[in-house]
Chains A and B, each alone.
Chain A
Amino acid sequence: MQVQSMQFKARAGQKLADQRLQANLKKLSTKFVTARAAAIEEIDFEATREALKERRNRGLETLDVWLEIFEREATRRGATVLFAESTQDAARLIAEIARKHDVKKVIKSKSMVTEELQLNKVLADMGVQSVETDLGEYILQINDNEPPSHIIAPVVHKDKDEVADLFARVHHKPRLTDIPAMTREAREMLRPQFLSADMGVTGGNFLVAETGSVAVVTNEGNEGMCTIMPRVHVAVTGIEKVLPTLEDLATAMRLLPRSATGQGTSNYFSLLTGTRAEGEVDGPDHMYFVLVDGGRSGLIGGAFQEMLRCIRCGACMNHCPVYQKIGGHAYGWVYPGPMGSVLTPSYVGLEKTLDLPQAATLCGECNRVCPVGIPISDLLRKLRERQVDRGLRPWQERAALAAWAFAARRPRLYAALSGLGSWALRRMGRDRGSISKLPFAGGWTDTREMPAPSGKTFRAMYRERRAPR
């Protein structure tokens, strides 16, 4: 996916003005937030989160070792494990696999990593048709390859009527508005694709090192069609997704569906291990793993390593006051919301993503709900420090902060200036008790009054009170 994060401000403005989107985004709090709150009541959330955090850390601290064990175990069971340093390398490897097996058609289940790779475009360019089979991703693909706006609910920005219009237009069928009927229509469109595909591409929620398996979590069952029907299965995921053991996976699965959709467990859960062995009735003839670095290893050992624990549940965005207002597209790359605002600068470059670490209130709601205890708001603040260190902040902002700090370090100067400020603000708001236009603070006063102060600082009033009369 092309990085468009530099347009954050303009796009956020458009999203705020889009009344239909605003109504659609209400689903986040009414559906996801409520469902998660109920689902985590079934478990000891804090203890489970602590356990998962430890298990993820254990895997990440010796990631190279677990990846080698994974490679050995997967290979032993007939799969081929390929490592890709860049997303371009990964796309190239998948293209080579398709060429090698004479693939004409690929069916895909949901994968955000393939969005990093721009895989559909790469396949299309070499004449291979790639069909998204997750309902949400399918809707986006037939809508002129629109990007997803959420990592687990890719069409959360659309309502039923928009999808009904789209289906009628693209499927050339009578417009349906009943969701089960619409879903049935999509299934009818997808069935021939399932039956005629040569290769299935899936993501991987987790890799299990001790068995060489990939775990895939879905709610629609399309993943089973993608991995069982075609001759070739390619699982694409990030290198950080490896868990040492099946026990680790069990802990992760207690938190992933609950945090993501508020489900105790997802409708479908597949643990795929190796190619079809003799005497087995299903499974692919050829199984590949394409494990993508794409900037991930650069986080190891640094200030942002904790971000690698992320299990892509989407809870941080569901609970984020900013995401709830602007949706995912404004963020301009694959991963939106709080986790994306940490990952995008790390993976595509700090200078292309200046707004992302700044466009957060640091309210800490993301930290509270994160199932692996990532201190996301602290990481956003660290990215702000990196921006300052690399000279990426506007000089006016730095000058204003430097001037303020110069005074704040000098109590007498500060007392004089704050006294002057209080007096000036009072004069500006004299007739109404509030100020409706303030120089250099249009961001505030365009839409809000600035309540005027009383004209004297606490410091000055306290001194007067204590002075002998």
Chain B
Amino acid sequence: MRVGLFVTCLIDMMRPEIGFSTLKLLETAGCEVVIPDSQTCCGQPGYNSGERAIARDLAQKFLDEFESFDYVVVPSGSCGGMVKAHYGDLFADDPELMGRFERLRPRVFELTDFLVNVLHVEAVPGDYNGEVTYHDSCSGLRELGVKAQPRALLGKMPGVTITEMKDCQACCGFGGTFALKYGNISTAIVDEKCANIAASGAPAVVLGDLGCMLNIEGRLRRTGDTKTRVLHIAQVLAGDA
């Protein structure tokens, strides 16, 4: 099984170690992983900023780079959501691209969805010990239906206890450029998230999206919380946390 890994631009630049954790998970599960060197970004920043032409170019680039694989795996709910839920809108006026995309779309998966629903993994390499709480990222949850998958995988790790926080499905306030343009509103929203994480009592929050990760970690650290760990699900599952 040849799997194309879309690393995502934020992992590439901000947290390369999560890319390696993802690679490890896929290879341990027996996949032949190929990482196209020409990949950059899925186009979401352009799309959500109303720059449709930019988003369409990058969507077509993604299609060119990834359509030859058996599967494409994305360790991010929002990039996965961009591809699966929104590329169709960008290709709507081009039957040729739309046709190619329709053939690719069912083979694109968010990482945990792929591990659970395609690979049906029985065990994961990680040996994390401790209590965690899980933050559901908006696009993964609402566009891709990622909810049970990460919890099922964490459930396969004997040392892990999941303590759900209040409103785990609520937005963390990141919203891409929203966090920059309306920093004060964004901060008020992430404060709510940080309070719920703290109230859960778990010393670590696990999530599946870099945007939420930088936002939550950035706010926790600024408010003096140096202890609560903010971990990507791939790091925990791969034993790199």
Contacts and interface: CB of A to CB of B under 8 A. Distances in A.
B222 A436 contact: yes
Prevailing SS type, chain B contact patch: helix
Interface in A421-466: 421-422, 425, 434, 436, 441-444, 446-451, 453-454, 456-459, 461-463
A422 B9 CA distance: 11
A23 to B, nearest CB: 13
Contact of B61 (A401, A409, A457): A409
B19 interface: yes
Interface in B183-212: 183-190, 192
Nearest to A398: B51
Nearest to A436: B222
B184 A447 contact: yes
B142 A462 contact: no
Interface in B1-46: 7, 9, 11-17, 19-20, 35, 37-41, 43, 45-46
A443 B180 contact: yes
A405 B35 CA distance: 21
Interface centre among B43, B179, B188, by most chain A C-beta atoms within 10 angstroms, is B188
A334 interface: no
B113 interface: no
Contacts of B221: 434, 448-449, 451
B180 A384 contact: no
B34 to A, nearest CB: 11
Prevailing SS type, chain A contact patch: helix
Interface stretch (B120-128, B155-163, B169-177): B169-177
B13 A401 contact: no
A358 B51 CA distance: 13
A454 B16 contact: yes
Given A363-B171, A385-B50, A459 B185 contact: no
Interface size class of A (residues with CB under 8 A): 35 or more
A389 B139 CA distance: 26
B51 A448 contact: no
Interface of A: 9, 12-13, 16, 29, 321-322, 325-326, 358-365, 367-368, 378, 381, 383-389, 393, 397-398, 401-402, 404-405, 407-409, 411, 414, 418, 421-422, 425, 434, 436, 441-444, 446-451, 453-454, 456-459, 461-463
Given A408-B54, A447-B187, A458-B19, 9 more contacts: A322-B182, A360-B178, A361-B189, A368-B142, A385-B52, A408-B43, A442-B183, A444-B183, A449-B222
Interface of B: 7, 9, 11-17, 19-20, 35, 37-41, 43, 45-52, 54, 57-58, 61, 89, 138-139, 142-143, 167, 170-171, 173-176, 178-190, 192, 214-215, 217-219, 221-222
